[in-house]
Chain A
C-alpha cells in the first residue's frame, strides 16, 4: 500500500467516524489534522434568508428561460408576483434581441442603400435610389442647396445613362435611363431658374456645363441605340440646346402617273446620307438638296394609302426626328411644322434600310428594294 493509499484509507475512516485501522505515522497525523481543519468549514452555515431568496430568483430565471424556449409555458406555474431581480435578466435579453435585430436591419438597410446607390435603371434597387434622391431633394436646406443637389443628380443620371448604353442593356432600360435624365434635366433647370438672380449666376455655369455633358453623352449614345431611342435621344438633345439636329417642317405626297408618286420631306439639318423614316422603316431618298433642307423618296404602290404613316428622317450621326403628325398618302399631302415625340409605329426598326418604294408587301420587281 502506497503512502497515498494509506492516507486515503485513514481519511475515509476518519470522515465516517470509524476507528482507524492503522496508527497514523508522524507525517500522516499532520495531514489528517489538516484535512480535519479543512472539514471544519462545514460548520459554516448558509444564511437561510439568503438561500431562500436566491432559490426563488433561480426558479424564476428558469421559468423565464423556459418561456423563451417555449412561449406556451410562459409563467404558467410561476408565482403571481415576480420580484424585480428576476425580471431584470429577461428584459435585458429582450432589449439585446431587439437591439440586435435593429442593428441587423440597419446593416441590411445600409447594404441595400449602398447597392442602390450604384444601381442603374432597370435594376431592382433603382427605385430606392430614385426615392432616396427625392428625399434628399425634399430635405435640402433652401433653394440653393436644392439646385446644387439637382445638378448633382442630373450628373449622376447622365452617367447612369452612358453606363446603360455602354453595357448594352435592353432598350427598355435605356428608355428608363433617358427618362430619368429628362426628369433630372427639368428639375435642375427649374431649380436654377427659380433662384434669385444673385444666387443664380454661379449655379447657372454649373448647369450649363452639365447640360453640355448631357449633350455629349446623348450624341455619343446615339450610334449605339435603336431607331426608337434615337428619336427620343434627339428630342432630348434639342431640348438641352443642341441646334444641330434635324427638324421637319413639311411632308408632301405627290401622286405621279399610275400608282406611284413622290414623298417630299422639308426641314433643316438633313445631313448628307440622311435616310427617310416611313412607318418605322428606313429608306434611302431618291434625291436630296445640298442645303440639307429637302429630300424626296420615290413612292410605289399605295397599298396602305388609307392608313396614316409616321414620316421622319435620320442623319448618319443617329439624330432622328418624326414629323409632328402622321401623313396619309391618300390625302396627297400633310404639312406639319416641328418635330414630335416618337410614336409606337416608329419603334418598328428591324435594322433594315429601305429605299425607293416604301410599301410593305410589294414585290421587289415592281417596287424599289429596301435599303439593307
Chain B
C-alpha cells in the first residue's frame, strides 16, 4: 500500500503525479480519502448500502478522470473537492432512487438493504438490535448534516471525519481561521439541536427501559 506523504510539498508532488495519471499516486490519494468519503456518503444517504458503494465508486472514478482540473495543491482542498463531487453524486443518486421507488414495491426493512457490514460500527455486525440502532443513528446524523450550510458541512466533515486543521479549511473556503471557528461553533450548535443524546447514553437508557 502506498503511503500518502504528510508534508504539504510532498502532497503537492503526489497531486502532480496523480494529474499525470500515475497509478500509485492515485491509489495513495484514494486510500487516504476513502474512509472520509465513504462515511460522508453513508451518512448523507442514511446508510443505504445499494447507493453508498455506487456513489463512492463514482466519486473516485470521477476523481481519476478529473484530477487534472483540480487546482488545489494541499490536502484540505483535495478533500473539499472530493466532497463537492460526492455531494453532486449523492443528490443524483437519491433523486434516481426516488424515481425508482415510485415504480417499485418498497423493500421490507429487514431485507438487507441496510445490512451491509461495511456500514456497521465495529462490534455491531452480529447484533440485529445494534444494526437497527446504527441505522437510526446514521439517519439522525444525515438529517442533522442536512440542516447545515454547505460551508458548515465542509468544516465539520473536514474537522471530525478528515482530520483537517482550521487553517487548512480556511484555505479551502477562502476565509480567515477565525471565520472557520465561527462556522464550526454554529455548525456544532445546529448539530447539537438535532442529534439529542449521545449514542452511548441512548444505548444505556434503552437497556434500562428493557
Q: Which residues of A contact B (CB under 8 A)?
A: 2-5, 7-8, 11, 27, 30-47, 50-51, 54-55, 57-59, 61-63, 65-66, 69, 77, 89
Asked whether, in the complex, the Cβ of B189 is within 8 Å of the Cβ of A66, the reply is no
Q: Which residues of B contact A (CB under 8 A)?
A: 20-23, 26-27, 30-31, 34-35, 38-39, 42-43, 53, 56-57, 60-61, 63-65, 116-122, 137, 141, 156, 159-161, 166, 178, 181-182, 184-185, 188-189, 191-192, 195, 198-199
Asked whether, in the complex, the Cβ of B20 is within 8 Å of the Cβ of A66, the reply is yes
Contact of A42 among B22, B141, B161, B199 (CB under 8 A): B161
Asked whether, in the complex, the Cβ of B195 is within 8 Å of the Cβ of A62, the reply is no
Given A5-B181, A7-B184, are A37 and B198 neighbors across the interface (CB < 8 Å)?
Answer: yes
Asked whether, in the complex, the Cβ of A44 is within 8 Å of the Cβ of B119, the reply is yes
Asked whether, in the complex, the Cβ of A31 is within 8 Å of the Cβ of B185, the reply is yes
A198 to B120, CA, bound (A): 88
Asked whether, in the complex, the Cβ of B56 is within 8 Å of the Cβ of A54, the reply is yes
Asked whether, in the complex, the Cβ of B189 is within 8 Å of the Cβ of A31, the reply is yes
Expressed in whole angstroms, the minimum distance between the Cβ of A230 and any Cβ of chain B is: 69
Q: Which residues of B contact A44 (CB under 8 A)?
A: 35, 38-39, 42, 118-121
Q: Which residues of B contact A62 (CB under 8 A)?
A: 21-23, 26, 64
Give 7 nearest A-B pairs by CB, closest first: A47-B118, A43-B121, A4-B181, A34-B192, A31-B188, A34-B191, A62-B23
**Interface of A, helix, strand, loop or mixed by DSSP:** helix
- Chain A residue at smallest Cβ distance from B43: A41
Q: Which residues of B contact A30 (CB under 8 A)?
A: 189, 192
A61 to B23, CA, bound (A): 8
A30 to B155, CA, bound (A): 18
Asked whether, in the complex, the Cβ of A66 is within 8 Å of the Cβ of B22, the reply is yes
Contact of B198 among A7, A33, A42, A45 (CB under 8 A): A33
Contact of B65 among A5, A37, A65 (CB under 8 A): A65
Contact of B184 among A8, A46, A61 (CB under 8 A): A8
A-B contact pairs, 14 of them (CB 8 A): A4-B185, A7-B184, A11-B184, A30-B189, A35-B159, A37-B191, A44-B42, A45-B120, A50-B118, A58-B63, A58-B64, A63-B21, A65-B21, A77-B23
Expressed in whole angstroms, the minimum distance between the Cβ of A219 and any Cβ of chain B is: 69
Q: Which residues of B contact A54 (CB under 8 A)?
A: 30, 34, 56-57, 60
Q: Which residues of B contact A35 (CB under 8 A)?
A: 156, 159-160, 188, 191
Q: Which residues of A contact B119 (CB under 8 A)?
A: 44
Given A7-B181, A7-B185, A37-B195, are A58 and B160 neighbors across the interface (CB < 8 Å)?
Answer: no
Contact of B39 among A2, A11, A41, A55 (CB under 8 A): A41
Given A3-B185, A38-B160, are A58 and B30 neighbors across the interface (CB < 8 Å)?
Answer: yes
Contact of A4 among B53, B57, B156, B178 (CB under 8 A): B178
Q: Which residues of B contact A7 (CB under 8 A)?
A: 181, 184-185, 188
